[in-house]
Amino acid sequence: MIAGLDVGGSKTLGVVLDPGGAVRATVRVPTAGDGGDALLASTVRALADLATAVGLAPSELEAVGIGIPGVVNTDDGTVRHAVNLGVNGDPLALAAHLTETAGVSAVVENDVNAATAGAAAMLGDVTDLALLSIGTGVAAGLVLGGTLRRGHRGAAGEIGHVSLDPAGPPCVCGQRGCLEAVVSGPAIARRWPVDGATGAATALVAAAERSDPRAVQVLDEVAGYLAAAVVLLALTVDPDVILLGGGVAEAGSPLLAAVRSALGRRVGPVPLLGPLDLPRRVRLVPDTVPVGAVGAARLARERLSHATA
């Protein structure tokens, strides 16, 4: 049995996979996002809950894989920056801490990469896949030739900071009009403020479905920028499938329909792009399993099998 954790800004989702890769247990615990020590404690707690759910001690698990939104050193399992979790100083030795306190081997991965590996496993017959994760941050994960592609400096797929509109809103990175500055959850919430639990993107598509003219306009713009990101990914690595994931994609099929329609308008008339059939190749990330946690577990299993081979 191997565990996977997907550490998000507010919640941590966990799974246990059996040797055949089937999900045997899932847990969901709040993430303590106020600094390194709190984060370590909530991660240890999630792991303990998972082990209990399958009647094991944490040390009896084969390993644990952890996906975390931040800059990760996959070699030593440290997290350098995870700003939304209050980690932004000395590297946090997440893998070493879990091994020390829970007696289990741990592998740490960037959360978008983990989700991409999980989605690729779910889709099965796809060897080249891009997952455009649209949440607080925006980035793409890439599985190419069946292998997760991190890049030379770990920056493969960091297209959230490609500037699409030099006159657009300022981005946290210092540029203007980055993809992240126009389609992230906070960017949508600035244009479509909501109170309470419903995400801004979900509220926006609901208002657009009621034909609220301003919502229709904002959704068209967001979908247009997402269509531009899909074209960018298609023309860079031409994956079989481009998945939309992350918190914004929880707005679901109305958002997908808007992106497909924006793609049709954008690329349909272009002889180079029309035949690429992009509207059909864009899909929502599978929601039958938590792909981030599943991917983290599978990457940990892969790493261990290489280490012992």
Smallest separation, CB 102 to Zn ion (Å): 37
Say which residue the tokens 């996979």 belong to: 17
Near Zn ion by CB under 5 A, which window of 24-32, 161-169, 267-275, 291-299? 161-169
Near Zn ion by CB under 5 A, which window of 12-20, 69-77, 166-174, 270-278? 166-174
Smallest separation, CB 173 to Zn ion (Å): 3
Give the residue ranges of DSSP H helices in 124-237. 179-183, 185-191, 200-209, 213-237
CA dihedral defined by 120, 230, 267, 264, rounded to 10 degrees?
70
3-state helix vs strand vs coil in the chain, percent to 5: 45, 25, 30
Residue with Cβ nearer Zn ion (179 or 294): 179
Residue with Cβ nearer Zn ion (154 or 286): 154
Residue with Cβ nearer Zn ion (105 or 184): 184
Query: How far apart (Å, rounded) are the C-alpha atoms in residues 270 and 251?
Result: 29
CA atoms within 13 A on the CB side of 30: 4
The residue among 91, 71, 93 whose CA lies nearest residue 82 is: 71
Residue with Cβ nearer Zn ion (78 or 184): 184
Residue with Cβ nearer Zn ion (166 or 196): 166
Residue with Cβ nearer Zn ion (103 or 151): 151
138 binds Zn ion (CB under 5 A): no
Amino acid at 159: I
Binding residues for Zn ion restricted to 169-188, rule: CB under 5 A: 171, 173, 175, 178
Smallest separation, CB 223 to Zn ion (Å): 20
Query: How far apart (Å, rounded) are the C-alpha atoms in residues 244 and 35?
Result: 29
Q: Would strands 241-245 and 129-134 be described as parallel, antiparallel, or unpaired?
A: parallel
Amino acid at 76: D
Smallest separation, CB 164 to Zn ion (Å): 10
155 binds Zn ion (CB under 5 A): no
Smallest separation, CB 169 to Zn ion (Å): 10
Binding residues for Zn ion restricted to 20-59, rule: CB under 5 A: none
Residue 116 phi/psi, 5-degree rounding, is -65, -45
Smallest separation, CB 94 to Zn ion (Å): 26
Among 39, 51, 95, 161, binds Zn ion (CB under 5 A): 161
Residue with Cβ nearer Zn ion (19 or 166): 166
Number of residues that bind Zn ion (CB under 5 A): 5
Residue with Cβ nearer Zn ion (150 or 176): 176
Give the single-character DSSP code of 162: S
Near Zn ion by CB under 5 A, which window of 85-93, 106-114, 153-161, 243-251? 153-161
Smallest separation, CB 163 to Zn ion (Å): 7
CA atoms within 13 A on the CB side of 31: 24
Q: Where are the beta strands (DSSP E) in the chain?
A: 2-7, 11-17, 23-30, 64-68, 71-73, 78-82, 87-92, 106-110, 129-134, 138-144, 147-148, 241-245, 282-284
Report the interface residues with Zn ion, using CB under 5 A. Answer: 161, 171, 173, 175, 178
